[in-house]
Amino acid sequence: MASFSVKECDLEAILPAKTLETRVPQAQVERTIAPAPSRYRNELSKYILRRSHDCVHCGKCAEVCPYGVHVRKEGYKLFCEPQSHLCIGPACEKTKHYCVAACPQKALQIVENPMTQFLGDYRWTADLILATWRMAETGHVPPAECGFEHRVGNSGGGFDKLRFKFPDKPPVNVLKDQIDTSIELNRRGDGRPQVRIDVPWYGGGMSFGSVSNVTQLSKARACTAWNTFTCTGEGGYMERMRPYDDHVITQVATGLFGVREETIQRVPIVEFKYAQGAKPGLGGHLLGDKNTPAVAKIREAVLGISLFSPFPFHSVYSIEDHMKHLDWIKHINRRALLSTKVSTPNDVDMVAVGSYAAGSHIIHIDGGYGGTGAAPDIAKKNIAMPIEYAIGRVHKFLEAEGVRDKVTLIASGGLRTAHDIAKAIALGADGVVIGTSEMVALGCVRCNRCESGRGCPRGIATTDTELAAKMNIEWGTQRLINMYNAWREELVDLLWRFGMRSISELRGRTDLLMHLDYTNDVEQ
């Protein structure tokens, strides 16, 4: 009974036949970047381009505008409503293609959209939301002239106060297409499979019940395309997820809803959710309204009743209980890598090294900035240690213990952009888990009504069939694939500016960061 490494063909040797029978052919999803415009007729925009009745439909504006704001459909005489979300705003004035100036009738006017004052919040500013939409639509970072601040929000702390100290020019010239953004998830050398993901992030756990089928499947498909992972959350393993088994992390969370042996046996990674940074000490909860017949069925619970997951695991009150818990899952799934997800209490460093000692491959620390509307406001940001402190602390502690290279450190909790990801890695993480950004890419406006009534008015975080029908899987998949691509491009650019060949070179390079409150460096 020697240790082993599992390949696809070896599954028969380690999975009971009855489990193998439940395995379906694995879906392939192309990693193609294609436009995925808003699913609403008029996308929210930063600026509004107004066309007055003085317009004579001469077509001059459409001639000068390189962004496609002015559209006259084939065979029509009149112009459509301007595609304002493509307009770069007053910054255009300095260019040669400024339609307002070009208009012979002076019929055009650009004004700031008053809606942007109410869209988003300090963490997710209107700029960030609009920029993320743009990335999800086009697959690329919005051009500078659009004027979006797409790197940071305006929270006055956390990642918003950190900046990179870029050299004036790259110290070494690296070809961008040779830059590696992949990370290895199994560093224990324990004979379990090596699992490498192409981008240094994977998707966070959102259960069926908290988000719709379409949302969950779009995430799974995008992760398949990008050779990374999505996570089931704790509400059970949807049958529809099975074609994506190889890119799914299934959760063993404190409620144990929908956890069965074959769901554990299906996947390459199992995540133990001890706590969420957005609400440490509270456990998951799904309010009665969202416990629809379908949810009640998959969780095998009573319809319409609020479902609370306890905190903590009732079976785990110590590190040695935790080890036993991991051993159990390792016994059930002989190829799985195990991830331990914890929030960031003051002794998170000790928790992390303890989890490593207990046998985790991945230590996932979840800070307090994240959380959807379902997490109580009183808990969000107010309990857990800010993630940017926790990462450094855990990274250094693991180094001091001599085990840093034996474990993968994953950070999460309010990471919104490629820049946030890069900062987390520079602070010491190997990679990150993202959550809200994916929702934004699918059209989330951060209204914080995820938990109320039938759930999300945009049909993302809902189990209501009418609301969920507002989105289709192909569109959702494309939006996410696009956003991933934009992020990766940005990471590659960032590494290129530092002259680095691989994302792993960035890990722990706090010397490349500065904090706006504690530095005399001039921001570049």
Partner 1 sequence: MDTQLIEQLGHSRKTLADACGYLQTVRKGEEEGGCGVVGFCCTEPVAGRHIYEPSKQMHNRGNGKGGGIAAVGLVPEQLGVSREVLDECYMLHIALLDPKVRAEVESEFITPCFDVTASAELNKVSDWKSVGDLEVKPPDVWRYFVRVKPKTLDAFIQANEFASMDRREAEDEYVSQNSFKLNQKFYASLGQQRAFVLSHGRNIMILKVVGYAEAIVKYYKIEDLKAHIWIAHQRYPTKGRVWHPGGAHPFAAMNMGLVHNGDFANYHSVSEYLKQRNIFPQFLTDTEVSALLFDLLDRTYHYPLEYIIEALAPTTELDFDRLSPERQQLYKAIQTTHIHGSPDGPWFFIIARNVAREKKLQLIGITDTAMLRPQVFAVCEGEVQVGLIASEKQAIDATLQNMAKDDPRICPVADKYWNARGGSHTDGGSFLFNLQKDKTGRIRMTCMDKFGQAVPMPRTTESCDFTKDVASLRHDRAVQERIDAFLRDGNAAGLFEHLRSGMPRWSFDVMRTAFRTLADRGSAKENTATAIEVFTLLNDHKYPTGAKRRSHILHILRTELDRLFRSLPRITATDPAFGSYRLIDLKTAGALRAPVKGETTLVIDAAGFIAEGDRCDATLLFGAYMKGWRRFITFDLHGQRFHGCGLGPDTDDVTIDLYGSSGDYIASGIDGMTVTIHGNAQDQLGQIIKRGKLVVHGDFGQTFMYGAKGGSIFVLGNGAGRPLINSVGRPRVVINGTCLDFLGESFMAGDPLNGGGFVILNGIRLDEDGKIVPLPEPYPGSNLFSLASGGAIYVRDPHRKVVTQQLNGGKFVELAEADWELILPYLQENERLFGITVEDLLTVDGKPCKPAQVYRKVTPVALKALAKVAALPGKEKKQVAAKA
Chain residues binding partner 1 by CB under 8 A are 1-3, 13, 15-19, 22, 254-257, 259-262, 264-265, 287-289, 292-293, 299-310, 313-315, 317-324, 327-328, 330-334, 347, 349-351, 353-354, 357, 397, 400-402, 452-454
Minimal distance, residue 428 CB to partner 1, in Å = 18
Q: Which two tokens stand for residue 166?
A: 């870029």
- 3-state DSSP assignment of residue 16: coil
Minimal distance, residue 360 CB to partner 1, in Å = 12
What is the C-alpha separation between 153 and 172, in angstroms, rounded?
31
Minimal distance, residue 259 CB to partner 1, in Å = 5
Q: Which is nearer to partner 1, 202 or 313 (CB)?
A: 313
Q: Which is nearer to partner 1, 40 or 317 (CB)?
A: 317
Q: Which is nearer to partner 1, 13 or 115 (CB)?
A: 13
Minimal distance, residue 59 CB to partner 1, in Å = 50
What is the C-alpha separation between 206 and 233, in angstroms, rounded?
4
Question: In the Cβ-directed half-sphere of 424, how many Cα atoms lie within 13 Å?
Answer: 29
What is the C-alpha separation between 391 and 409, in angstroms, rounded?
8
Minimal distance, residue 27 CB to partner 1, in Å = 22
Q: Which is nearer to partner 1, 121 or 321 (CB)?
A: 321
Minimal distance, residue 17 CB to partner 1, in Å = 8
Q: Which is nearer to partner 1, 20 or 102 (CB)?
A: 20
What is the C-alpha separation between 333 and 261, in angstroms, rounded?
8
Count other Cβ atoms within 10 Å, centred on residue 4.
14
What is the C-alpha separation between 331 and 423, in angstroms, rounded?
37
What is the C-alpha separation between 15 and 28, in angstroms, rounded?
23
Q: Which is nearer to partner 1, 142 or 359 (CB)?
A: 359
Minimal distance, residue 258 CB to partner 1, in Å = 9
- 3-state DSSP assignment of residue 112: strand
Q: Which is nearer to partner 1, 150 or 325 (CB)?
A: 325
Minimal distance, residue 117 CB to partner 1, in Å = 30
Q: Which two tokens stand for residue 152?
A: 């940071």
What is the C-alpha separation between 313 and 51, in angstroms, rounded?
60
Q: For residue 8, give the amino acid letter.
A: E
- 3-state DSSP assignment of residue 344: coil
DSSP 71: -
Q: Which is nearer to partner 1, 349 or 489 (CB)?
A: 349
* Cα–Cα nearest to 218, from 364, 340, 39: 39
What is the C-alpha separation between 319 and 347, in angstroms, rounded?
13
Look-up of token digits 């920029």: 131
